[in-house]
Amino acid sequence: MHVILVFTYGISIKEWDDLGILSREVEIYKKMNKEHNVRFTFLTFGDNEDEKYSHLINDLTIIPIYKYINKSKNSIFNFFKTLIGVKKLIKLIEKPTVIKTNQLNGSWVAMMLKLHTKSPIYIRTGYNLFEFSVKDKKNIFKKIFYYLLTQISLVYSNNYSVTSNADKLFLEKYFYTKNISVIPNWIADVKFNDFNNRYKNKVLSVGRLEPQKNFFSLIKSLSNSNIELDLVGEGSEKKALRKYADSLNVKLNLLGRLEHSDLNQHYLKYRIFILPSGFEGNPKVVLEAISRGTLIIAKKNKNIAEVITNGLNGVLYENENEIIDKITYFLENESELNKLVNKAYDLIVENNSIEKIVERELNIYNQS
């Protein structure tokens, strides 16, 4: 079986490497190749630097789009270049069994490949691009573009997957749909040793330092407390978050970006992980934190509620004023914390192990 993976628009393998997520992103493809003899071609939005990563997976072919199509500084020009320029790449590509996307953004390349190769297409999405554009208050042209891209992809794809039931219900309500599967994100290494030697006065959060992640509300909730916040990530709000924390006398430790393997070890230091964002898809950081034995305290939204059931395997809150009381309670009641953590761990082993997600994805390949 030969699968072409079309990367998210604008993303290269080198960028995965620079972001420290390369090992995580390729793990599922390595497993499919080694255990199920699936051969991959990565079609990336990079240049010839991407070709040096061909050793990552046995018999991996890498075709960087911007090696063959001149990249423009104008994003609109780039869109049309990638849309029209696919024809130049056809001669480099062996006919695939199936064409898969990593996200919806960039799916026009996959659809053009289907047009030329007649191979079936599987469009995988990690979050609802159109709904996020509305909640992020993007300009009207982007909203229209993402709406049309979603609808065309739903119609033109042989299979289409989302990571949550909430996303599926949204698409079925507002779009003409067919063949939608729910395949959540996966965890490869699901284990933790014990609860010993973890911080008793620190909590952890991870994410891009951008408005969607709502870190200002988290910092505000910790004012006038002795709880420190360790924050992993980079982004445009970094300086503003530091200034805001200082103004509220909150001990904020900005840890920058961590390699994925380092981050997985870092989770083991904490009893509590906070997710303050108002909207998410199926957040990998939550699954990873659970896999390392941390209690999740998260702002309630329809997607996170599919991962966390309040009081069963984690804690949900609606108002930032609730956060400090919940942190204090569970730090002082370790038996209650451990009970929720163990239940959360059992559930992700059941629902999110890489072995189960590989099986479900291979079924989609075979159905396409």
Q: pLDDT tens for residues 113-147? A: 999 999 999 999 999 999 999 998 899 999 999 99
- The whole-number average pLDDT for the span 3-26 is 95
Which tokens sit at 194?
């014990």
Closest CA to 307 of 351, 357, 358, 353: 351
Task: Note the pLDDT tens digit of each residue in 304-339.
Answer: 999 999 999 999 999 999 999 999 999 999 999 999
pLDDT exceeds cutoff 90 at 156: yes
- The whole-number average pLDDT for the span 144-164 is 97
pLDDT exceeds cutoff 90 at 12: yes
- The whole-number average pLDDT for the span 201-219 is 95
CATH, domain range 2-186+353-367: 3.40.50.2000
Closest CA to 116 of 154, 90, 88, 153: 90
Task: Note the pLDDT tens digit of each residue in 278-290.
Answer: 888 899 999 999 9
Closest CA to 110 of 154, 157, 162, 57: 157
Lowest mean pLDDT among 85-89, 129-133, 212-216: 85-89
Angle, in degrees to the nearest 10, between helices 334-352 and 354-367: 30
pLDDT exceeds cutoff 80 at 95: yes
How many angstroms separate the CA atoms of 18 and 38, rounded?
26
What does the CA dihedral 3, 9, 12, 18 come to, rounded to 10 degrees? Answer: -130
* CB distance 98 to 121 below 8 Å: yes
Helices (H), the chain: 13-19, 22-36, 65-68, 75-89, 107-117, 129-135, 140-156, 165-174, 215-221, 238-247, 260-266, 284-291, 323-332, 334-352, 354-367
Task: Band the pLDDT of 91: cuts 50, 70, 90.
Answer: confident
All CATH 3.40.50.2000 domain ranges in the chain, comma separated: 2-186+353-367, 202-352
Task: Band the pLDDT of 295: cuts 50, 70, 90.
Answer: very high
pLDDT for the residue numbered 224: 87
Helices (H), 296-333: 323-332
pLDDT for the residue numbered 301: 92
Would you list the DSSP string of 267-292?
GGG-SEEEE--S--SS-HHHHHHHHT
Q: Provide the mean pLDDT of the chain.
A: 94
Q: State the amino acid at position 219 in one-letter form.
A: I
Burial of 134 (0-12, 13-18, 19+ CB in 10 A): middle
Residue with the bigger pLDDT between 368 and 335: it is 335
Task: Band the pLDDT of 213: cuts 50, 70, 90.
Answer: very high
CATH, domain range 202-352: 3.40.50.2000
Neighbours of 309 (CB within 10 A): 15
Q: What is the pTM of this model?
A: 0.91
- The pLDDT > 90 percentage for the chain reads 85
How many angstroms separate the CA atoms of 308 and 296, rounded?
8
Angle, in degrees to the nearest 10, between helices 140-156 and 107-117: 30
Residue 182: strand pairing partners: 162
pLDDT for the residue numbered 179: 86
Neighbours of 234 (CB within 10 A): 15
